[in-house]
Amino acid sequence: MNQVLDSDINLKLGSEATPEMVKAMEPDEIFVAVGSEPVKPCIPGIDRANVMDILKAHYHDRELGKKVVIIGAGSSGCELALTLLKAGREVVIIEQTDEIASSGNNLYKGALEELFLREKHLTCLMETSCMEITANGVKVKNKCGSEETIAADNVVYSVGMRPLRDLAESFYGIVYDVKMVGDCMGARRINEATHEGYFAGAVV
């Protein structure tokens, strides 16, 4: 960020880029990095006031209550859990598969597992599905078909990201050379998105 501020880049914050705005700038080339949005699972109660998606939760974690249920044990969900635990929250992670952070490498997953083992206020319910979100928690079912209700002040869903392809493609046709980089092409890890952006700019 400091490098950007110290450069001659014309940085427009708090401004939504539209094809009309970009066209009016008469650019020679366009790099589109509009990102992705959280996938919203089809769970009854997902639109309740006590529910946040993973992006909102990362930015507004202080607004979450004492007991938090996280749906999804991907990297983002696990890292949010660690943040909340350090802040004194109680966390329950619900995951449909038998693996945490499935997209991470063995070193990353091993470190997460080691950190999780030290946490007294963390529960991981693997091979478990969320059936419904209520005003006071969630109803879940495990692989054996047993159901239970877990009390929670807030619920966060973290079940993947959906690329904003339609928005990204709306910038095509303004100029000949339009490049899409980062999550708008497909959900990326930060190192992948950073490298992709660097090499896209390096070949201009």
Give 3-27 pLDDT, tens digit per residue: 877 888 888 888 889 999 999 999 9
Full-model pTM: 0.85
Digit-coded pLDDT (tens) for 67-97: 999 999 999 999 999 999 999 999 999 999 9
pLDDT of 201: 72
Q: Do 97 and 126 form a contact (C-beta atoms < 8 A)?
A: yes
pLDDT of 66: 97
Digit-coded pLDDT (tens) for 130-182: 999 999 999 999 999 999 999 999 999 999 999 999 999 999 999 998 988 88
Q: Answer whether residue 204 shows pLDDT above 70.
A: no
Digit-coded pLDDT (tens) for 92-136: 999 999 999 988 889 988 999 999 999 999 999 999 999 999 999
- Name the E strands within 85-136: 90-94, 122-125, 128-134
| Angstrom distance (rounded) from CA 41 to CA 38 | 9
Indicate the average pLDDT of the chain. 91
Q: Answer whether residue 200 shows pLDDT above 80.
A: no
| Angstrom distance (rounded) from CA 122 to CA 91 | 5
Query: Which strands form 147-151's sheet, in the order they lie side by side?
Result: 128-134, 137-142, 147-151
Which of these, 174, 195, 167, 192, lies nearest to 33 by C-alpha position? 167
Query: Which strands form 51-53's sheet, in the order they lie side by side?
Result: 51-53, 154-157, 67-71, 90-94, 122-125
| Domains of the chain, CATH where assigned | 43-161 (3.50.50.60)
Alpha helices in 155-202 (DSSP H): 165-169, 190-202
Digit-coded pLDDT (tens) for 26-62: 999 999 989 899 999 999 999 999 999 999 999 999 9
Counted residue by residue, the chain has a size of 204
Tally Cβ neighbours within 10 Å of residue 43.
Answer: 19
